Amino acid sequence: MNEGIIRNLLSNSGINVINIDSDFIYIEDPGCIQAAFSTIFDYAWLVVVLLTGILIFGWGITKIFGIKNDLFSNAKNLILIFGCLSATKPAINVLYGSDIINKTCDEIPVSLIETQKLLAQRNATFSESDLLQTQEALMRQENINNTSTEQTTISSTTSSTTSSSTAYQNNGETIYTLANGEKIRRKGGSVAWRNNNPGNIRNTAFSREHLGAICSPNDTWATFASEEDGLNAVVALLKSKNYYNLSIAEAINRWAPSSDGNNPKKYATIVSNTTGLPVDTRISQMDDNDLYNVAKAIQKVEGWKPGTEERI
């Protein structure tokens, strides 16, 4: 696993990586309190500066309107505030027995080999979990097929007739017309599943003419003939000029903007954690395998919940 992925995973866990060499990863002591003290003093000085500005502004107002004001008392109060804040730093250092404010945090060396073993174990656990989920989904689908001979699967039926299939959306259902004239209704589940649209790509002239959407021009969401076609459409859209030169974080911010009620930062983090690619990785830097993994991660976030299918 490369250095960038390791840094990204540790950073997402709230750990500050100082350096990585051939043997160790050097991280900042998570229990370090120096950084916290430094931050507190930064804010404290900011507050004092603001108070000083307010006092000076108040003095100016009193002078303009001729209001009586004891400048000597106000100056004493200001000196007292600065004095207390200045005395806090040496007082803390005396209590801790060292210059704790200016002291840097300790570095902790972590074995790179052991870290890679843990990450490999983590990936293996995720793979096993995905396998179990797939097996459970197959079992649920088998039960559905056994209880209704009317039901079928769109993806297998249309594998050789994708280009000539059509679809339209109606009252929360998606109706597919296959090349052989059969009609399939998908209902329930998520919008992404009903439309074979893992990325919840909107229905536009571009999605119909360049991404392979088979839906009616009046539909809100694009519909694809199979899940695989939908994933390929996500990859094709990421390769388009609107996304190709963006990073993962920038691409997700455009794909799922906060103005639509999304959380782009959280979305991008999930994609990054799922694929192992840092959020600043550019689409143009990815190979086809990386892009497919990003598409699968987008499918995960967008929500892929199967419903029911039936021949009509």
**Count of CA atoms in the C-beta half-sphere (13 A) of 299:** 24
Please compute the mean of the pLDDT values over residues 90-94 and round it to a whole number.
67
Q: Look-up: residue for tokens 């550019």?
A: 282
Answer with the residue of higher pLDDT: 85 or 303: 303
Rounded distance between C-alpha atoms, residue 161 and residue 176, angstroms = 12
Q: What is the pLDDT of residue 149?
A: 37
Q: Helices in 243-311 by DSSP H: which ranges?
A: 248-255, 264-275, 288-302
List the beta bridge partners of residue 173: 170, 187
List the beta bridge partners of residue 308: 187
pTM over 0.75: no
Rounded distance between C-alpha atoms, residue 100 and residue 41, angstroms = 13
**Beta sheet of 107-111, edge-to-edge order:** 17-20, 24-28, 107-111
Q: How many percent of the chain have pLDDT more than 90? A: 40
- CA dihedral for 54, 55, 56, 59, sign (positive or negative): positive
Q: Look-up: residue for tokens 């995973």?
A: 9
Answer with the residue of higher pLDDT: 145 or 238: 238
Rounded distance between C-alpha atoms, residue 257 and residue 254, angstroms = 5
* Of 26-40, 55-69, 106-120, 170-184, the least confident: 26-40
Rounded distance between C-alpha atoms, residue 20 and residue 110, angstroms = 9
Q: Look-up: residue for tokens 């540790």?
A: 10
